[in-house]
Every structure is written in structure tokens, then in C-alpha cells.
Chains A and B, each alone.
Chain A
């Protein structure tokens, strides 16, 4: 592999990222005070993911890291997505499903 000098991120970029993160925090608080129904949580998470991406790419030098380090970072979130995603497919589907039999179940978990 070709050698490359370590990339030094300039303070200017750090300052821009700081500004973006502060702006994101302000927007997320403003947005939470408006009633958007289910979109509230979607918007809040979208802003949080954007802020996280900025921190990883620039503060944590993810953008300038070697490919194999980037692969490790992506793999970490991939595993997290498996854990969250597959568990939620179960929980979000539980209550919607009506009972297949016409009779109510003999034992209810809640009573």
C-alpha cells in the first residue's frame, strides 16, 4: 500500500463543525416544541445522526482514516442496526396482530 502522510485537520474545519453541532442542538430543541406527531422523533433522530456523522468524520478523523479503520467503524454500526432492527420487527408487530381464533385466548399475560 502506498504510504501517505498523516492528514492534519485544520482548526478552521473544527470551528465550522462546532458551529454546525451547536446549530443542530438549537434546531432539535426548537423542533421538539412543535407538534409534528410521529415526525417529532424521526426529525430528532435525523438531526442526532447528522451530528454524530459530523463528529465521526471530522473530530474523530473518520474521513481521513485508512480504509480498514473505516470498515471497522461501519461494521460497528451495522451490528448495532442488526440488534435494533431485528428486535423492533418483533416488538412493533406484536400488538397489531389480531388473534387468529374467534374465541379470546384462555390466558391473558396481563391479567
Chain B
């Protein structure tokens, strides 16, 4: 494995060698686009089929935490871009500082995610036997909602149950009222399965990214990267920005479905 940036026999110039490595990284990222694309497609179809249940479930997420995480992740993309710049201009101390900043911001993101996941367990929003989409609208105290939010949430859940009940009636079910409740609960679980699946896969990518950043920091401290050789910084940077792009889509799709209702 070459680490110092010597020119390999099959390349004409160092620049061509780096471009080839970057092209390979992009081809990997294309496979990642299609990997996440399958999940986005599943999400789109289910949201299209069950709009009211997805709206109710989406409003159960904590918008402030999601917004804060978006800011943190965008900031980490900036610090990553700055470490690439530091490498390209041979600022060997600055590379380490910017990389550490990126790792810290990435860790903050994962920390906030942990707080959010814990909240979902507390609010009975994890798919399974204890799932109950009406948990927060049944009693005010456990979810800490203020009077107005609580009222809006109750109204939204009620309307979703009615909408699903109407659909059940159209389909010829005998008890549209009970069916409505069951259907909202079932389809909201679908939303939360996708929520945990998509944000979980995204978080897994962040954890891998954090490991890669740790490797870069250790190498950068030895002064390995400069204007002549910075391919690992550039390519891990591409990966980090890709993970940021996934979140740029996850945030509006998961957190902002029916925000005008609450």
C-alpha cells in the first residue's frame, strides 16, 4: 500500500493517479446512492399510500432536535471541506485541527440521535407490541406537550383515524371506526420502521465515517498529507459529504411532512 504518494507504474502523472482514485470513490458512492435510493423509494410509495398516518407519525418527531442535527451535520461538512483545503495547501497543523472538528461534530450528531431514539422508546413509538400512536395524545404529561400542541395533536390523530376509517368503509369493512384506529396504528408503525431503518443506516454510515476520520487524524499527525499527496483526505471527504447529502433529504422527508398542523 502506498502512503507517501509515489507514482505507480501504470500512471503518467500523480494528478492522473489521484483522479483515478477519486473516480473509483465516486463509483462506490453511486452504488451508495442506489442503496439508499431503494429505501427512499419504499418511503415514497408508503407515504403515497398512507398520507394521513405518515403525517401523524412524522409530527411525533422532535423538530428542534432534528433541526439542530441538520445544522451540526452541515457544519461538519464545512469543516471536512476545510481539512481537504488544508491538505491541498500543505497546512499540516490545520489539517489535524479541522479533522478533529469534523469528528467532534459527527459525534455530537450521533449523541443527539441517541437522545431522540431514547425519546421514541419512552413515547411508545418503536414498532412492536408496545407501539401506540395515541400514547402522546391520550395523556398530556408523559410527552411534555403544552396545552396547544396537545390539543393539535389530539385533533390530528382523530382526523387520521377518521380518514383511515372512511377508507375502510369504502373497502367494505363492517366496523370502520375500529378499523380506522387499527389502520392508523399499523401504518404509523410502517413509518417508524422506515424512520429507524433509514436514520439507523445513516447513523451506521456516520459511525464508519468517524472511524475513517480517526485514521485520517492519526496519519495527518504524522504529517503524511500535503499538496502532493492528499488522496485519502479527499476521498474520505467525498464519503462524508455523501452522508451529509443523505441527511439533507432525510430531514424534510421524515420531520416536515405535516408540520403546518401542529
Give which listed residue, A32, A48, A66, A79, contacts B19 with CB less than 8 A.
A66
Asked if residues A84 and B241 are in contact (CB atoms below 8 Å), the reply is no
Chain A residue numbers with a CB within 8 Å of B77 are: 18, 21, 55, 59
Given A25-B70, A72-B30, also A84-B40 (CB < 8 A): yes
Confirm or deny: A96 has a beta carbon within 8 angstroms of a beta carbon on chain B: no
Chain B 227-262 against A: per-residue CB contact (8 Å), 1 yes, 0 no?
Answer: 000000010011001101100110111001001100
* A48–B252 CA distance with the chains assembled, in angstroms: 8
A100 in contact (CB, < 8 A): no
Q: Which one, A28, A58, A76, contacts B252 given CB within 8 A?
A: A28
Docked Cα-Cα span, A46 to B238, in Å, equals 23
**Is residue B18 within 8 Å, beta carbon to beta carbon, of the partner chain?**
yes
Residues of A contacting B29 in the complex (Cβ-Cβ under 8 angstroms): 76
Decide yes or no whether B142 CB sits under 8 A from chain A: no
B154 CB contacts on chain A under 8 angstroms: none
A72 touches B78 (CB 8 A): no
B88 located at the interface, meaning its Cβ lies under 8 Å from any Cβ of chain A in the complex: yes
Shortest beta-carbon distance, B182 to chain A, in Å?
Answer: 13
Encoded as 1 (CB less than 8 Å from any A CB) or 0, chain B from 58 to 84 comes to 000001000100110011011011100
**Can you report 19 A-B residue pairs in the complex whose CB atoms are below 8 A from each other?**
A5-B15, A6-B88, A9-B85, A18-B74, A21-B74, A22-B74, A25-B67, A29-B63, A44-B256, A45-B252, A51-B248, A52-B249, A59-B81, A66-B23, A69-B22, A84-B37, A87-B45, A91-B49, A111-B173
- Chain A residues, CB < 8 A from B40: 84
Give the size category of B's interface with A.
35 or more
User: Which B residues touch A75, using CB under 8 A?
Assistant: 30
Q: How far is the CB of B108 from chain A (nearest CB, A)?
A: 16
How distant is the Cα of A8 from the Cα of B49 in the complex, in angstroms?
Answer: 47
Is A52 a contact partner of B44 (Cβ separation < 8 A)? no
Give me the interface of B with A, judged by CB distance under 8 Å: 13, 15, 18-19, 22-23, 26-27, 29-30, 33-34, 37-38, 40-41, 44-45, 48-49, 63, 67, 70-71, 74-75, 77-78, 80-82, 85, 88-89, 171-173, 234, 237-238, 241-242, 244-245, 248-249, 251-253, 256, 259-260
Contact of A72 with B173 in the complex, beta carbons under 8 Å: no
Nearest 5 Cβ contacts at the A-B interface: A76-B30, A32-B256, A44-B252, A32-B259, A35-B260
Given the complex, which residues of A lie within 8 Å of B241, measured CB to CB? 55-56, 59-60
Do A69 and B23 have beta carbons less than 8 Å apart?
A: yes
Chain B contacts for A61, CB-based, 8 A: 234
CB-defined contacts of A3 to chain B, threshold 8 Å? 13, 15
A5 to B238, CA, bound (A): 20
CA separation between A59 and B19, bound complex, in Å?
Answer: 16
Q: Which residue of B lies closest to A74 (CB)?
A: B30
